[in-house]
Amino acid sequence: MASRHKPKATPGVAVTQDSPAKVIHELKAQGLRRAWLVGGGELAGAFRAEGLIKEYIVSVVPIILGAGVRMFGEDGSPERLTLVESQRYPSGIIQLRYVKLA
């Protein structure tokens, strides 16, 4: 996974260039069951390509960009999801929570 800049680690945050599978293996070895991916489409796409994402939380912000970057990078096959929750906020943001169908 390439990065435009190298973020500095802060308490509670790990910075790594390991493969998604290795990261998940290390998290499980530490007894952790959930991880929150923050880093954009390339990062999420790498985990998605290896089938490592079980739940998606997508926030819809009421701004039309006109152009942009793909949500999960360039590659990827279709995935069947089911909506399990939605939340509307006073700002106009809608948050959708999906889980992957078995």
The fold for domain 20-100 equals: Dihydrofolate Reductase, subunit A (3.40.430)
Confidence at 1, pLDDT banded by 50, 70, 90? very low
d(CA 12, CA 93): 27
Give pLDDT tens digits for 10-43. Answer: 787 777 888 999 999 998 999 988 888 777 788 8
List the structure tokens of 83. 């909506």
**Contact present, 1 and 44 (Cβ < 8 Å):** no
Token look-up 């999960």 returns: 72
d(CA 102, CA 13): 31
Give pLDDT tens digits for 61-99. Answer: 999 888 877 787 777 788 899 999 999 999 999 999 999
**Contact present, 61 and 42 (Cβ < 8 Å):** no
Question: What are the beta bridge partners of residue 30?
Answer: none
